[in-house]
Amino acid sequence: MSFNIKMIFLFWHFLWCWWRLKVKARKYRRQPNDLTPQQRNDYLLKRARQILWYFNIKLEISGYNDLPKSPAILMPNHKSNIDPIILLAALRKTDHAREGGNKIPTFLAKIELKKKGIVKDALELLDTFFIDRSDIRNSLNTLKSYGDFVKANKRYGVIFPEGTRIKEQGLGEFKAGAVKVAQSQYLSIIPVAISDTRDALNKNRSKKLVIKVQFLKPLKPGEFLSMDNQAIVTRVKTLIEKALNNE
């Protein structure tokens, strides 16, 4: 059943979920201590799984149990606006996972997303840091604050190294600056290979779309601190390309 057909029957439920998200975000802005990071994450996780159901998407996840307990930087490839939702859902605790709750991501996003109401609300609930790429000094300060936050709060930082959605087949250019946080904070880098999501938001598609999310072997700081930034992102890109080609 396509998204459009589901909307015929479930439009009011969809609207209610949208309204509840707005209420949660407003409450968090006014009283940030009333909702714990885990509560906010788990609420958005439920919404993420609903969205995947609406769009008839099934996730196949590998490498989850190899994710470190310590804070780290996840670096996924990027094809669609749904990729952050997919990543949030992929970090849900599995039935046979080790102890602990669902893993909490903290995104680094372009500042333009703050102009998109419902997107801004969701990202703020996840403590997203917004970066103004046109202001170099501001960008450097944001990266420093972001790295400090990820490490202090033991989060999974999420940085899309391509910097934008790549609408063509294959991967785009991986920006060297994407690894600065991992370097400065001495954090592991986890390449994440997400299979092609370009058709994920097709509202007329009725066939189930299977999307594979592969959490690859972490690159530990000792492996890359002696490398320059471009060499590190090239290594990350190569690992993701290899994983996608072997699907």
According to the model, what pLDDT value does residue 97 have? 55
50-68 average pLDDT score: 95
Residue 136 has pLDDT above 90, yes or no: no
According to the model, what pLDDT value does residue 206 have? 85
pLDDT digits (tens, 9 = 90+) for 140-192: 999 999 999 999 999 999 999 999 999 889 999 999 888 999 999 999 999 99
Higher pLDDT, residue 17 or 73: 73
According to the model, what pLDDT value does residue 14 have? 82
84-113 average pLDDT score: 88
According to the model, what pLDDT value does residue 3 have? 79
**Average pLDDT over all residues of the chain:** 92
pLDDT digits (tens, 9 = 90+) for 184-235: 999 999 999 999 999 999 998 989 999 999 999 999 999 998 999 999 999 9
Quote the percentage of the chain above a pLDDT of 90.
76
Burial 116-153 (b: 16+ CB within 10 A, else e): eeebbbbbbbbbbbbbeeeeeeebeebbeebbebbbee
According to the model, what pLDDT value does residue 1 have? 74
**Phi and psi for 106 in degrees, rounded to 5?**
-125, 120
Domain count, the chain: 1
According to the model, what pLDDT value does residue 196 have? 94
Q: 37: domain range?
A: 3-245
CB atoms within 10 A of CB 29: 11
68-79 average pLDDT score: 96
Q: Domain holding 65: CATH number?
A: 3.40.1130.10
According to the model, what pLDDT value does residue 9 have? 79
DSSP E strand stretches across the chain: 57-62, 72-76, 105-110, 129-131, 156-158, 188-194, 209-215
According to the model, what pLDDT value does residue 100 have? 73
According to the model, what pLDDT value does residue 235 have? 97
pTM value surpassing 0.85: yes
